[in-house]
Chains A and B, each alone.
Chain A
Amino acid sequence: MSNSIDDIQKEVVEEFSMLDGDMEMTINYIMELGEQLPPMSDSSKTDDNIVKGCQSKVWLNADFKDNKIFFEADSNTAITKGLVSILVRILSGRSPKEIVDADLRFIDQMGLNRFIGTQRSNGLGAMMKQIKIYGLAYSTKIN
C-alpha cells in the first residue's frame, strides 16, 4: 500500500470539509460511504465478532495475511456502518505496527466526535479499541 494511514486520514478529512459542517449532508455522506462498504460474509458475522454499543451493533472480523491485518465490518445501523467503513478504509491491509501506532486524528478533525461522543450510543468507539487490540495481538504473533 502506497498511501500511509496519515495520507488517507487527510483525504477523508478533505472530503468531509467540502460538506461545510452541514449536519444533514454529513450524515448523508456517511451513509453513502456505508452503502459502498463491501458486504461482510455471513460466516464472519458471528456473535463472537460483535462489538456492542448501547444503541447500535458492529461486527468486526480480522484476517491476518502476509503480515497484514484485513478488516471486514458491518453494522445494524446505517450511520454507524458508514463510520465503520471509514475505519476499514484507513486501517485495513496495514501491518500490526502501523495499526498500533495509528493516531486516529480524523475523528477530531472532521468534527465526528459528535457521532461517537458518548461511547454508549454506538459501537464505533468500541470498534476502534478492538482494532487496536487486534493490532497488538498480531504484533506479538510476529515477534
Chain B
Amino acid sequence: MSQILETQKLDIQKIREEFPILHQQVNGKPLVYFDNAATNQKPQRVIDALVHYYQHDNANINRGVHTLAERATAAYENTRKSVQKFINANEVEEVIFTKGTSESINLVASSWGRKFLNQGDEVLISAMEHHSNIVPWQMICEERGATLRVMPINQAGEIIVEALDDLITERTKMVAFNHASNSLGTINPIELIIKKAHAVGAKVLVDGAQATAHLPIDVKALNVDFYAFSAHKMYGPTGTGVLYGKRSLLEKMPPYQGGGEMIKEVSFSKTTYNDIPYKFEAGTPGIANVIALNEAINFINELGKANIAAHELNLLNYATNALNAIDGANIIGTAKDKVSVASFVVEGIHHFDLGMWMDAKGVAVRTGHHCTQPLMDFYGIEGTTRASFAVYNTVEEIDIFIDALNSIIKRFNK
C-alpha cells in the first residue's frame, strides 16, 4: 500500500490488553478472532464510554434544557466533530449519524434517488458490492425507471478500469462502489473512478465499511459526494454509522424519514424541515453508541492508521503465504492492493464444515457468501471461508489458524 510511508512498530501485546473479550477460551481453546471484517472487537475505553454515559449522562439530546441533556448533547456533538476530522470533511454539518453503512446507503438511494433519478438514467455499481450497496439501488432504479449497471472485475478481483469509459456516460447519474471489498479485500481505485464519474456529472457514493479501520479517509481530497461507514467495523459500537455528504447535495435532498428532531415547525397543513444534519436524523438516535464512537476514533488515532495498516499488511502477507503453501487451498481475491482479508476455498471441503471445525478449535472465521452472492456467482462458488485481521491479531494466531486448517484437511482426506 502506497500510503504507508514511515510507520512505527506497535506493541500488539499491549493493545490486546485493551480488549477484554480476546482473553477467553472458546470450546476449550484460546479464542482466535478472525472475523473482523464482520465486526471487530471493542477496546475497554469504548465499553467504558458506554457505561459512563448510562451511569452519569443519560438524557435525550438536543432539546432538553437540563444539565444532563446538555452533557449528553455536547458529548454527542463532540463525536460529530471527531468524525469530521477523522474523514477530513469541510463542515461538521456534513456528518450525519445513521444506524450503519446500510442505512447510510439506503438514505442516499431513497432521498437523493427519488429527487434526482429519472427514466433512462443509470446507476453504476461494481461486481463486488455487498448486497447493501446493490439492493437499495435496485429498489430505487425500479421505482424511478432507471437502469442499474455493473463495473466488471477480473479474476484477481479488481475492477477492470479499461471498461469504465464505456460504462460511465452522460446517462450515468450515480456511481456507487466500495472502498474495499468485504469478501475479497480488494482496495478499489476510488480516486480514478470519482474523477471519471465527475467528468460526466455523475455523483459518487463510496461504501467505506471495510476501509475506515484500515485506510486513511480524506473526503475533501477525494472530492467524494457521499461516504458511508459503520462504527462497529472500526472498534466502535454496533447499530451506529455515518453518512458523509457534501452540504450542497444534502441541502437539496428531501428528508429520508419523518419524526422528531428533523423538523423546524410542524402544523397539520405544513411542516418545515430542520437544517442538515438534523434533517436526516429523525427520532432519538443511538446516543450512547455515538458517544462511544468517539473513543473508537481516539483509539485508531492514537495508534495511527499507517501503523495499523502496516501491521495488518504484515499479517495479511503472512497468512497469504501460508495459505498458498497448502495443497488444495485457493485464495479468492488476489488484488495487488488489499485490506487484511484472506478469503479462500479448500478443494473437497465445504466452507460450512470448515467454519464449524475452526470454531471447535477456537478459531472464529466467517463462512458463506458474505452477502455478495453476485460476486460468488462470478467465481462459480457457493461461498468462501474468510479470515480477516485487526490490529490486535498476531502472527502466532495465524500459525494456530493454519495448524487448524492443516489438521482439518487431514481429517477430510482420511
Contact = CB atoms under 8 A, between A and B. Distances in A.
Contact of B357 (A27, A55, A80, A115): A27
A115 B368 CA distance: 16
B42 interface: no
Interface of A: 22-24, 26-28, 31, 54-56, 76-80, 115, 121-122
Name A's interface SS.
helix
Interface of B: 27-28, 349-353, 356-357, 359-361, 367-368, 383, 411-412
B361 A77 contact: no
B357 to A, nearest CB: 6
A27 B350 CA distance: 14
A72 to B, nearest CB: 20
A125 B248 CA distance: 51
21 contacts: A23-B359, A24-B27, A24-B360, A24-B361, A27-B356, A27-B357, A28-B411, A55-B350, A55-B352, A55-B367, A55-B368, A55-B383, A56-B350, A56-B352, A77-B352, A77-B353, A78-B349, A78-B350, A79-B353, A121-B352, A122-B352
A8 B257 CA distance: 56
Contacts of A80: 352
B411 A76 contact: no
A3 B361 CA distance: 36
Contacts of A26: 360
A23 B27 contact: yes
Given A22-B28, A23-B27, A79 B368 contact: no
A79 B361 contact: no
A122 B383 CA distance: 14
Contacts of B357: 24, 27
A103 B356 CA distance: 26
Contacts of A55: 350-352, 367-368, 383
B28 A79 contact: no
A77 B356 CA distance: 11
Nearest to A24: B360
B351 A23 contact: no
Contacts of B359: 23
A-B pairs, 6 with minimum CB distance: A23-B360, A77-B350, A23-B27, A55-B352, A77-B352, A24-B360
